[in-house]
Amino acid sequence: MLQIETQAVGPFMKNGFVLWCDRTREGVLIDPGDEIEGLIAFAARHQLAIRHILLTHAHVDHVSGVAAAKRALGVKVYLHRDDEFLYRDAVQHGLLFGLRVEAPPPVDEYYAPGQVIGFGDYEVRPHHTPGHCPGGVCLQIAPKGQRGEDLFVGDTLFAGSIGRTDLPGGDYETLIASIKQVLFSFGDQARVYPGHGPATTIGRERATNPFLR
Ligand SMILES: [Zn+2]
Ligand SMILES: [Zn+2]
Question: Domains of the chain: which residue ranges?
Answer: 2-212
Average pLDDT estimate for 147-172? 96
Average pLDDT estimate for 61-80? 98
pLDDT for the residue numbered 64:
97
Average pLDDT, the chain: 97
Q: Which residues have CB less than 5 Å away from ligand 1 (the ion)?
A: 59, 155
Q: Give the C-alpha separation, 89 to 104, whole Å.
A: 10
Which numbered ligand comes closest to the C-alpha of 16?
Answer: 2
Q: Which residues contact 154 (CB under 8 A, 6 or more apart)?
A: 31, 56, 57, 62, 129, 132, 136, 137, 138, 163, 194, 195
Residue 14 alpha carbon to ligand 2 centre in Å:
6
Residue 80 alpha carbon to ligand 2 centre in Å:
16
- Range 2-212 classified under CATH 3.40.1550.10: no
Residue 61 alpha carbon to ligand 2 centre in Å:
6
Q: Give the C-alpha separation, 157 to 194, whole Å.
A: 6
Average pLDDT estimate for 121-148? 96
pLDDT for the residue numbered 213:
84
Q: Is the pLDDT of residue 181 over 90?
A: yes
Q: Is the pLDDT of residue 1 over 90?
A: no
Which numbered ligand comes closest to the C-alpha of 194?
Answer: 2
Residue 154 alpha carbon to ligand 2 centre in Å:
7
- What is the pLDDT confidence band of residue 66, given thresholds at 50, 70 and 90? very high
